[in-house]
Amino acid sequence: DAKTTQPPSMDCAEGRAANLPCNHSTISGNEYVYWYRQIHSQGPQYIIHGLKNNETNEMASLIITEDRKSSTLILPHATLRDTAVYYCPDGGGDSSYKLIFGSGTRLLVRP
């Protein structure tokens, strides 16, 4: 079972920032925080990951709290193409580094 929890749905207006939260209260000290998204039934798309520090790439920013029990994915200027299900999967905690996906957050970007 996934050890991360996310709100089931969110929405935001096009052009505004989308802030998606994730709680990972049981994350271990050396486990990375990952974010993926899935548009319709396409393969999940890697977005960003981090360990302790905040991270930014061309797609998004990742804010990790100091105690690492929660994180926020920020899409700075959401577009209609960002409408998708966003996941912060659990890392499994063993040597396989498999991803354990929960139900994710369905983000709807409104025109």
Partner 1 sequence: DSGVTQTPKHLITATGQRVTLRCSPRSGDLSVYWYQQSLDQGLQFLIQYYNGEERAKGNILERFSAQQFPDLHSELNLSSLELGDSALYFCASSVGTGRSYEQYFGPGTRLTVT
Residue 86 interacts with partner 1 (CB under 8 A): yes or no: no
Comparing CB distances to partner 1, the nearer of 70 and 91 is 91
Residue 97 interacts with partner 1 (CB under 8 A): yes or no: yes
Residue 100 interacts with partner 1 (CB under 8 A): yes or no: yes
**Region from 9-17, 30-38, 63-71, 76-84 binding partner 1, contact rule CB under 8 A:** 30-38
Q: How is residue 96 annotated by DSSP?
A: T
Sign, CA dihedral 67-6-20-91, equals positive
Q: Which of 45, 26, 18, 10 is nearest to 93 (CA)?
A: 26
d(CA 32, CA 51): 5
Residue 102 interacts with partner 1 (CB under 8 A): yes or no: yes
d(CA 1, CA 92): 9
**Binding residues among 36-55 for partner 1 as defined by CB under 8 A:** 36, 41-46, 49, 51
Q: Binders of partner 1: how many residues, by CB under 8 A?
A: 26
